[in-house]
Amino acid sequence: MNIGELLGAMVQSGMTPSSGERMKNSLGGDSVMDSLSGMLGKSAGQGGGGGIGDLLSSALGSGKSSGGGGIGDLLSGMFGEGRQGTGTAGAGGGIGDLLSSMMGGAGQAVGGNRNLAVGGLGALIGALLGGGGKSLKGAVGGGLMALLGAMALKALKESGQQSRQVPVGLLEPQTEADIKELEQSSELILIAMMNAIKSDGQVDQNELNRFTSKFQELGVDGETQNYFINQLQQPMETEKLIAAAQGQPQLAAQIYAASLLAIEVDTQAEKDYLTRLSTNMGLSPQVTGRIHEMVGLQPA
């Protein structure tokens, strides 16, 4: 079973009615998405059959955009456009300004833009714009990890917590140790999202059917589907998440952000769970509040 593919399938299936919009908000909102559409001369509203999402997703195979530039240049230009145009990305709390600076001179401190997980980010953005397909589940999952890493880095930085370490997922793994660390972190993120889904105590059959129907459409194998359903029916694993995040504020912020993307936060049980989780992981109200703002929600 591939954890990355399962994360990608969860994103593509739409975890909640609001999860897609929250991810778009964290990337800078409509201004950034519109900038990407304008750069490629397509309408962001187009779906399959040559739509912007499919165009971005197909670019991942060769690492090229339709204009011949690398996907890194495409994303770097997009984030730069979004930031310099309307200014919404920076003012609205999106991560576009942070990623753009990392792809430029500031990126040399973390290995340069060639090491950033731009392929995964491209797949994630493509999926959010209506593209992507069965073969891109793993890439979309990698994009989710990169997004969560950028959100954690930005939230901690803007809350006065500096760190030289780049969050797992934001850079492409270079060694076997990097790959193992990414796999372990991805598993924790998966647990966090499932835990959040279970936090209101109402994982009903309709919800399970919605996921499995979409998983089948995406070509998720039976073993992975059974694992997913079985895990949703197991007791919550909050203590495991708390223990894993001790002394690792970036991981804690990633876990919190993933939890926030997985649920609507429209019940008191969900609100209480997020408060308990963040407090026990050692996240300050400033950090969690910044994450809420990034996804377009009022601080808890």
**88 compared with 1, residue with greater pLDDT:** 1
Residue 66 placed within a domain: yes
What is the predicted pLDDT for the residue at 131? 66
Whether the pTM exceeds 0.85: the reply is no
Residue 90 banded pLDDT, cuts 50, 70, 90: very low
Is the four-CA dihedral 219, 231, 17, 285 of positive or negative sign?
A: negative
pLDDT of 60 > 50? The answer is: no
| Domain assignment of residue 159, given as a range | 3-198+235-295
Average pLDDT in the 166-178 region?
A: 87
Q: What per-residue confidence (pLDDT) applies to 248?
A: 93
For the chain, report the end-to-end CA distance as a whole number of angstroms.
35
Is residue 204, in this structure, part of any structural domain at all?
A: no
Task: Count structural domains, the chain.
Answer: 1
Kindly state whether residue 44 falls inside one of the protein's structural domains. Answer: yes
16 in a structural domain: yes
Whether 86 shows a pLDDT value over 70: the answer reads: no
User: In angstroms, rounded to a whole number, what is the distance separating the alpha carbons of residues 47 and 28?
Assistant: 21
Residue 2 has what pLDDT? 86
Query: 25 in a domain, yes or no?
Result: yes
Stronger pLDDT, 158 or 43, i.e. the higher one? 158
| Domain-embedded: residue 216 | no
What is the rounded distance in angstroms from the CA atom of residue 170 to the CA atom of residue 153?
9
Work out the pLDDT band at 29, boundaries 50, 70, 90.
Answer: confident
Q: Give the whole-angstrom CA distance, residue 45 versus residue 269.
A: 36
Average the pLDDT over each of 41-50, 109-118, 222-231, 253-262 and give the range with the smallest value: 41-50
Radius of gyration for the alpha carbons in the chain, expressed in angstroms and rounded: 18
Per-residue pLDDT at 71 exceeds 50: no
275 inside domain: yes
Residue 288 falls inside a structural domain: yes
Tell me the pLDDT of the chain averaged across its residues: 77
pLDDT band at residue 204 under the 50/70/90 scheme: confident
Query: pLDDT: is 69 or 269 the higher one?
Result: 269
Percentage of the chain modeled with pLDDT above 90: 39
Answer for the pair 22, 87: CB distance below 8 angstroms, yes or no.
no
The answer to whether the beta carbons of residues 140 and 12 sit under 8 Å apart is yes
